[in-house]
Structure 1
């Protein structure tokens, strides 16, 4: 995709995310700071902040776990060796997701049953295991597939947002 196509996709995704009823009612949303290869989250983050919604973003910890920090667009960030920007502000603890109304998360692909293909380290699966908030993966349109490989410990999402719109998945009866 060209830079202009990526920017257009990010804007379209933001419009769909910001129209989601769960986001419209939200007080706190978990999101992520996108890497260049991922659908851009900057317009989504800006829209959430414009509405006065508190946004928390992940911070990786040693041992394959995630902590969370409040996203401050004017704050300082550190880029990890994996190329992921993380805020330098105070950490909220692993239970920060308990106060979130929606969790927006990255994926390499999502299937029609809500299985999310991640990068294979399991950070999100561990963080989401006890979360009751609706989970929504953000993917490009061609990353929404009929089926992706998955394992029993993988935490499924209930929705996927693409530049083409919001897709509610059909949970499978067996994984």
Structure 2
């Protein structure tokens, strides 16, 4: 299957997931993320405000904030890059034309990822070599060029696969967290 066909299949599978299963998955993913050694050593982490169909990031972000870790989240720019803002639970969220929730806040600039200790990345699937299937716009692949921090994709169970089509510019993940555990990509 090509990337676009894989995206369509993954999105349909996610849309069919019951809400209660999503809630349980978000809590389980948060527990696994927050137990990672990198968290205890972090002062700033990049994450994202999840869409309804994605593994929920709310519990993960809340847990990071409870530990005194600053969380930055992306804002999509018109030129196809990501800017970043410091996440605050009190900040108003606006929905973009892509259906992505973005908080209000002072922009940190596209280079903000150079100051993070971990990047939590959305994905539709990841293979055992760390190749990530995103939504296809390339925002994250461009943004991840600005960091040397470990990269962690959040997935539902069953979304780690043996192989995915990938290209030279695709950035590989270092680990994947699902509701049932953590998969570390062999280096």
Instruction: Classify the TM-score, shorter chain.
Output: over 0.9
Q: How far is the alpha carbon of 1:130 from its aligned partner? A: 3.1
In 2, Cα distance between equivalents of 1:100 and 1:143: 26
Deviation per residue, 1:62-118 (Å, 9 max, x gap): 111000000001111111011111111110001111110000000010000000000
SS at match of 1:141: coil
Partner of 1:123: 139
Counterpart-to-counterpart distance in 2, 1:168 and 1:125:
20
Pairs within 5 Å for 1:3-152: 3-152=19-168
The whole-number CA distance in structure 2 between the counterparts of 1:59 and 1:92 is 10
Aligned residues: 171
Decide which structure has greater helix share.
2
Q: Secondary structure at the match of 1:29?
A: strand
TM-score (structure 2 length as normaliser): 0.90
TM-score normalised per structure 1: 0.96
Moved over 6 A (4+): none
Equivalent position SS for 1:142: coil
> Following the alignment from structure 1 to structure 2, what is the Cα–Cα distance between the partners of residues 71 and 85?
12
Aligned CA-pair RMSD: 0.8
Deviations 1:19-45 (A, max 9, x none): 011112110000000001110000001
Structure 1 alignment gaps of length 5 or more:
none
